[in-house]
């Protein structure tokens, strides 16, 4: 039960701004003098109605979402959205193209195979860490949509560009980098992202969808995943994750108060730049397996004790890190090593402390 706030580098659910959590704490027993907690209120109350609208308005403002895009909140997590996008968009031609650059786009392609003909635009990578050149991709002009994951949370691969698809609508998973950089929304058919990394607690997924793509859901599509119906009922078609949306709304206000997405992008460049520089100048004591042209600004995987990683040393690294209140630095079980996630609530100072520790650890343990 330490009251010192942890340096939480977890991949998600992840650190949230302390100011936001303090505000939630202030309101937990009585939301705006109602004598009720927000979590005890009807999703059809005027209080929740305001939160629902403010959250949507804030997303529109922060990402400069054009008017012909709808903003929805659904449940079911990122994994639910993998199925939802297929069921909402694949019926036009029964075909969809997927770029699999890592764990999550791989799972999304698998999920979509249940609903139609899925083509991988490049063969399965032996090891994630690079994005094959676009000129080698096999994009089908009659695909209902093209899908990719903007930031692979597990593998640490982030797209440095928006793919060119010659008019085929693009569906993108931004679960781990939404609101960390500016986005040209008009290039997309649909953007989705779970809240639990950069913008709130688990339980809500933000969906931004171009309105001409609505109205085509498959018959089998569950009502709660039917974007057309969810939009028609303004994301209160059934009971939403009201508490999650409530906290998310506050995080969105926090982003606005902290320079918007523009500043989040600047900070994310500074934070990841410092960490990658530390890795690069460590003489291979630390190493990152990802190609420099697609390294994630958000999830930074690295090995300790040489490019293959020394597992004993990595265990020691994690143990020593925890003594300094640095938590959740263990790499995903499928990848091993270390992973530092640098979401919006992580400050430059947090990363500077991590880097300071890394240098001391190296000085102590380098053979």
Binding footprint of ligand PLP on the chain (CB under 6 A): 12, 77-79, 104, 149, 153, 173, 175-176, 194
Distances in Å between the Cα of 180 and the Cα atoms of 113, 145, 167, 216, 292 are 30, 25, 26, 31, 19
* Order of all β-strands in the sheet with 299-304: 286-287, 299-304, 338-341
Query: How many contiguous H segments (helices) and E segments (strands) does the chain have?
Result: 9, 14
Catalytic residues: 104, 173, 197
Least Å distance, CB 324 to ligand PLP, is 25
Residues 6+ apart with CB under 8 A from 24: 246, 247, 250
Least Å distance, CB 194 to ligand PLP, is 4
Residue ranges in 63-203 assigned as alpha helix (H): 77-89, 103-112
Least Å distance, CB 327 to ligand PLP, is 17
Residue with smaller CB distance to ligand PLP, 82 or 302? 82
Query: DSSP string of 167-214?
Result: TPPEEEE-TTTTTSS---GGG-SEEEEESTTTTS-TT-EEEEEEGGGT
Residue with smaller CB distance to ligand PLP, 168 or 178? 178
Least Å distance, CB 266 to ligand PLP, is 22
Residue with smaller CB distance to ligand PLP, 149 or 304? 149
Query: How far is residue 194's CA from residue 72's CA, in Å, rounded to a whole number?
Result: 12
Residues 6+ apart with CB under 8 A from 212: 68
Residue with smaller CB distance to ligand PLP, 102 or 305? 102
Residue 74 contacts residue 230 (beta carbons within 8 Å): yes
Least Å distance, CB 72 to ligand PLP, is 16
Residue with smaller CB distance to ligand PLP, 12 or 309? 12
């Amino acid at each position: 039960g330490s009251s010192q706030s942890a340096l939480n580098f977890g991949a998600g659910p992840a650190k949230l701004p302390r100011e936001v959590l303090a505000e939630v704490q202030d309101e937990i027993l009585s939301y705006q003098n109602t004598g009720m907690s927000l979590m005890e209120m009807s999703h059809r109350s005027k209080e929740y109605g305001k939160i629902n609208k403010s959250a949507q308005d804030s997303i529109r403002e922060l990402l400069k979402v054009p008017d012909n895009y709808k903003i929805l909140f659904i449940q079911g997590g990122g994994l639910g959205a993998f199925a939802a996008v297929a069921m909402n968009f694949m019926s036009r031609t029964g075909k969809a193209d997927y770029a699999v650059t890592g764990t999550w786009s791989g799972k999304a392609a698998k999920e979509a195979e249940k609903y139609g003909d899925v083509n991988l635009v490049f063969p399965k990578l032996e090891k994630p860490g690079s994005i094959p050149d676009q000129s080698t991709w096999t994009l089908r002009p009659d695909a209902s949509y093209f899908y990719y994951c903007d930031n692979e949370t597990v593998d640490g691969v982030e797209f440095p560009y928006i793919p060119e698809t010659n008019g085929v609508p693009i569906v993108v998973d931004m679960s781990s980098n939404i609101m960390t950089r500016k986005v040209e929304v008009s290039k997309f058919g649909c953007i989705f992202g779970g809240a639990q990394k950069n913008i709130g607690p688990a339980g809500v997924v933000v969906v931004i969808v171009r309105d001409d793509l609505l109205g085509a859901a498959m018959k089998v599509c569950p009502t709660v995943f039917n974007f057309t119906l969810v939009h028609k009922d303004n994301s209160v078609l059934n009971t939403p994750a009201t508490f999650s949306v409530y906290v998310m709304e506050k995080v969105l206000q926090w982003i606005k108060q902290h320079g918007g997405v523009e500043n989040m992008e600047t900070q994310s460049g500074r934070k990841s730049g410092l960490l990658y520089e530390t890795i690069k100048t460590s003489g291979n004591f630390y190493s990152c397996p990802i190609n420099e042209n697609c390294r994630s600004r958000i999830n930074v995987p690295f090995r300790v004790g040489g490019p293959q990683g020394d597992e004993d040393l990595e265990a020691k690294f994690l143990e020593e890190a925890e003594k300094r209140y640095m938590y959740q630095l263990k790499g995903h079980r499928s990848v091993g090593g270390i992973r530092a996630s640098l979401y919006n609530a992580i400050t430059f100072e947090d990363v500077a402390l991590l880097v300071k520790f890394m240098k001391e650890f190296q000085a102590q343990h380098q053979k």
